[in-house]
Structure 1
Amino acid sequence: MSVSSVAPQIVPKAAPTWRQSTSEPFVRIEQINKQFGDFTAVNNVSLDIYKNELFCLLGGSGSGKSTLLRMLAGFEKPTSGRILIDGVDMSNTPPWERPVNMMFQSYALFPHLSVAANVAFGLKREGLPSGEVQKRVADILDMVQLGHLAKRKPHMLSGGQRQRVALARSLVKRPKLLLLDEPLGALDKKLREETQFELMRLQEELGITFVVVTHDQEEAMTLATRIGVMNNGVIVQTAEPHEVYEYPNNRFVAEFIGNVNLFEGTVVGDERDSASIHCADTENLIHVDHGISCAPNQQVSVAIRPEKFRITREAPASLVNTTQGIVTEVAYMGSQSIYKVRLPSGKEVRITQPNVQRDADDRFTWDDHVYLAWDADSSVVLTS
C-alpha cells in the first residue's frame, strides 16, 4: 500500500505590526513638548511604538533623545502632550508605578553586593517571597549566561559581564517596556558588536518591547526593527533601518546615517517616472528613475552612497550618471577598500569597493585616473 506524500503547507509570515493598519500602538506619544526655561529639548513629538518592537531613538548630542526616554520612564514630566503605555495615560503616573524599567549607561551596580544580590534587589524591595526571588534571579542569570558568576562582585567582572548584570536586573521585574540609554557605550567595538546580537536574542525570546537610545548609527541599524532619527528635539524620520539608509527623507538624515556623497544640482527635466539633474561637479547629467514633483529649475541635492559607485579605468559607454577624477586617498580596510577621488571641479567623492579577491593586481592606487558610474536607482534626490 503506497502512501502519497503531502507537501507541507507554507504559512506566510505575518507583516510586522507597524505595517498593519489594524494594529494598535503599545506606546503612543502625542505631541510631547519639554522645555527647560527658554530651551526646547523636545518639540511637538508624536510617535507610535508597537508591541515586541526593538525601537531605536537615534541622534547626536543634544538632539532630545535621552529627554524623550526619561519622559517615557517618568523621570521628566512633559511640558505639554501625553504618553500612553498599553492604552493607559501615564501623564500623572510616577516612575515606580509604570510598567517600565530603565537600564542606564553607567549600569549603577551596587559594588558591595554579589551579581545575584544586585539582580534580586528590586524584587526584594517589592516584598516577593524568597523562593520566587531566587527562582526568577536564577532564570534570568541563566538567560544572560551569567549563572556561574552569581556569587561574584561587580569588580570581579568584565565590562561585558557588568553590562549583562545590569540588563538582567532590568529584566527580572518583567516590565512591559524596557528603556535602554546608550546601553553599549562603555564596551569596546568587538564586545559591543557581540552584545548587540545578545540584546536582539533576549528581546525576541522575552517578547518585551525595547526602546533604545543611541548616538551610534551602526548600532541602531543592527538592533532596530525601526529607527526614529532625532535632530533639534524633533523626529525627522521614522522608518525601518534599510529605508532610513536607502531612502533618507532629507539632507540631515542622509548625512547622519552612514557615509554619503552629496551633489548640488538643478532639475532640468521632471517626468512621472524619471528626472534629470544638471550638476556642475559631475559635469554630466544625473538621471534618476522616478519623478520629483518640484518647481522648474529647482535646486536639489543628490545623495549617492559610496558603495553604489562603479570605479573603472575605462570610460563608460554612456555619459549619463558618470564622472571622472584622480584617486587622492586609498585605505585598505580588510573586507573593503575606501577610495577618495577628486573630480575636475575639486570636489572629493568617497567610494567603497568590496575586496572579493585576496590578491588583486588591478587595485586602484594613488594618482590613478578613474571613471565613476552609478545606476539611476542609486541616487536619492533631496529637496530639503
Structure 2
Amino acid sequence: MTSSQFSELHTPTMTQTANIPLWKREGAEPFLKIENVTKKFGDFTAVDNISLDIYKNELFCLLGGSGSGKSTLLRIMAGFESATSGRIIIDGMDMAGIQPWNRPVNMMFQSYALFPHLNVADNVAFGLRREGVARSEVNKRVEKMLDMVQLGALGKRKPNQLSGGQRQRVALARSLIKRPKLLLLDEPLGALDKKLREETQFELINIQEELGVTFVVVTHDQEEAMTLATRIGVMNNGVIVQTAEPHVVYEYPNSRFVAEFVGSVNLFEGIIVEDLPDSVRIRSTEAGAELHVNHGISCAPNQVVHMAIRPEKIKISRQKPEQNVNCLHGVIEDIAYMGSLSVFKVRLASGKDVRITQPNFVRDMGARFTWHDSVYLSWDMDSSVVLTS
C-alpha cells in the first residue's frame, strides 16, 4: 500500500469534517501557499520549483540534511531572500516586494539573537517598543507572555544568567509577542542538550496550541520533527520529496531516501516475481529467500525494487517460527544495550547485515541472546513496504 492509498483509506467522510485536519478537508483554503518557488545562487539551485500548502494552526516541519534547501526556503518565506521565481502567499496576500518587517511573520533564529545588555523583559518587549505601543500595553503583554513560557519570575535577569532552555523560551516569547500570523523557526532546539530538547519540544507544542499561531519549523533532527509536527515535508537537493503526517512518512516512505533518512531501516534488494492487487512476492539474493508483502504496486515485470522493514518490526528467536514466509536465518554479530532498547546486528548467509531492535521489558536481558547465537528473523506481511525508487 502506498502512502497516498493509506491516506485515502484513513480520511474520514465529510460528515466528520469538524474532527479532521484542514489539509484533508475538501475545498479548505491554505494559510500559506508556496507556488513554484525556485532559488538559484549562480549556477546552483538551492530550492527547485517547490509548491506546498500549509494550513492555519499547523505546526509544519521542513526536515532535511545540510544543504537540502530547507533554511533557504524558510528565509524566502520571511523575506530575507528573494525567490528567483515563484510566489509566497500568506493569508491570501502575495508577499512579492513586501519587506520582512512588513510581513505578518516573525522568525526565531537558531542562535536566539538576544540582546546581552537587556534583561529578559526588555528583550521580549523590544519589538513592541519599536512600534510605539503604549507602555501599559507593553507591560501587560510582556507579563502575560513570560508567564506563558514559565519565565514570569526571571524578567529582571540578563541572558547570560539563564540556562540554554530559558534563553530559548525568551527568544520564543519575543517572537510571539507581536502576534504574528506565521512564526518561522530555524533549528529552534539545536543548541539544547538531548534531555532539555525533549522537554522543550512538548512546551513548544503546548504554546503553539494555546496561541493558535501557524508554525513552520526547520530541523535536521528526525525525532524532533516526528514529535512536533502535524505534517512533515522531507527535503533533499532543493526538492520536497514527501509531505505527510509523521506516522505516514515513517510507516509508508515513498522512496529509499525517505526510508533511510527518517529513522532506521533494513532494505532488501530484489526482483518482483509476482504482483497481485493485494500482495507482492520478491526474490531477494540478499535475503536468501522470497519476501512477501501484503500490498500491490505498479511496476514492470522483473523490476528491481527494495523491500523496507523497520528494525522494531522484526522478531528474533532461537527456534524457527512456524510461518513459512518472511523468515530468515543468521548469526548475531553485535549487540548494543541502550537502556530501554537492545539493538542486534544479525549477519545472514549472504553477508547482508540486518538490524533488529527490541524493548527491554525486564532488567536482566542477558539470558535471551548473546554474540554468535544462531537465530531466526521473521516479520508479518503487513510490516514492510515495497519501494520502487
Equivalent position amino acid for 1:98 in 2: R
Q: Which of 108, 121, 143 is the equivalent residue of 1:138?
A: 143
Alignment partners' CA distance in 1, 2:280 and 2:22: 35
Which shows bigger deviation, 191-200 or 311-320?
311-320
Q: Please state how far the C-alpha of 1:22 moved relative to its aligned partner.
A: 2.1
Q: Which of 302, 315, 318 is the equivalent residue of 2:320?
A: 315
Equivalent position amino acid for 2:329 in 1: Q
Cross-structure match for 1:3 = none
Tell me if 1:231 matches 2:241: no
Tell me if 1:93 matches 2:81: no
1:279-358 matches, cutoff 5 A? 279-358=284-363
Equivalent position amino acid for 1:307 in 2: E
Q: Which runs of 5+ in 2 are unaligned?
A: 1-15
Alignment partners' CA distance in 1, 2:352 and 2:336: 19
Tell me if 1:197 matches 2:213: no
Q: Indicate how the Cα distance of structure 1 residues 12 and 57 shifts in structure 2: closer, same or farther if over 3 A, else same.
A: closer
Q: Please state how far the C-alpha of 1:318 moved relative to its aligned partner.
A: 3.1
Alignment partners' CA distance in 2, 1:303 and 1:59: 20
Q: Please state how far the C-alpha of 1:290 moved relative to its aligned partner.
A: 1.0
Equivalent position amino acid for 1:81 in 2: G
Q: Please state how far the C-alpha of 1:23 moved relative to its aligned partner.
A: 1.0
Cross-structure match for 1:265 = 270
- Retained in 1: the 8 A contact 2:17–2:25? no
Alignment partners' CA distance in 2, 1:362 and 1:91: 65
Tell me if 1:75 matches 2:80: yes
Q: Please state how far the C-alpha of 1:361 moved relative to its aligned partner.
A: 5.8
Q: Please state how far the C-alpha of 1:12 moved relative to its aligned partner.
A: 9.0
Alignment partners' CA distance in 2, 1:101 and 1:152: 24
Cross-structure match for 2:4 = none
2:62 is paired with a residue whose SS is: strand
Equivalent position amino acid for 1:202 in 2: I
- Retained in 1: the 8 A contact 2:222–2:263? yes
Tell me if 1:186 matches 2:191: yes
Cross-structure match for 1:113 = 118
Q: TM-score, normalised by structure 1?
A: 0.96
Alignment partners' CA distance in 2, 1:30 and 1:277: 39
Cross-structure match for 1:363 = 368
2:350 is paired with a residue whose SS is: coil
Q: Which of 128, 141, 145 is the equivalent residue of 1:123?
A: 128
Q: Indicate how the Cα distance of structure 1 residues 12 and 91 shifts in structure 2: closer, same or farther if over 3 A, else same.
A: closer
Q: Indicate how the Cα distance of structure 1 residues 36 and 126 shifts in structure 2: closer, same or farther if over 3 A, else same.
A: same
2:19 is paired with a residue whose SS is: coil
- Retained in 2: the 8 A contact 1:284–1:319? no
Which shows bigger deviation, 103-112 or 310-319?
310-319
Aligned length: 374
- Retained in 1: the 8 A contact 2:275–2:297? yes
2:29 is paired with a residue whose SS is: coil
Cross-structure match for 2:158 = 153
Tell me if 1:377 matches 2:376: no
Equivalent position amino acid for 1:269 in 2: E
Q: Indicate how the Cα distance of structure 1 residues 81 and 361 shifts in structure 2: closer, same or farther if over 3 A, else same.
A: closer
Deviations along 1:279-323, one digit per CA (max 9) or x if unpaired, are 012212101111112111000011100001010001122331111
Q: Please state how far the C-alpha of 1:54 moved relative to its aligned partner.
A: 0.2
Cross-structure match for 2:6 = none
Alignment partners' CA distance in 2, 1:175 and 1:100: 5
Q: Which runs of 5+ in 1 are unaligned?
A: 1-10
Alignment partners' CA distance in 1, 2:17 and 2:68: 39
Q: Which of 58, 64, 68 is the equivalent residue of 1:63?
A: 68
Deviations along 1:69-108, one digit per CA (max 9) or x if unpaired, are 0000000010000010001100111101100000000000
Deviations along 1:23-80, one digit per CA (max 9) or x if unpaired, are 1100000000000011000000000000000000000000000000000000001000
Equivalent position amino acid for 2:89 in 1: L
- Retained in 2: the 8 A contact 1:228–1:235? yes
Q: Give the root-mean-square deviation of aligned CA atoms.
A: 1.1
Alignment partners' CA distance in 2, 1:251 and 1:326: 26
Cross-structure match for 2:248 = 243
Deviations along 1:354-377, one digit per CA (max 9) or x if unpaired, are 111223464211000000001101
Cross-structure match for 1:8 = none
Alignment partners' CA distance in 2, 1:79 and 1:181: 21
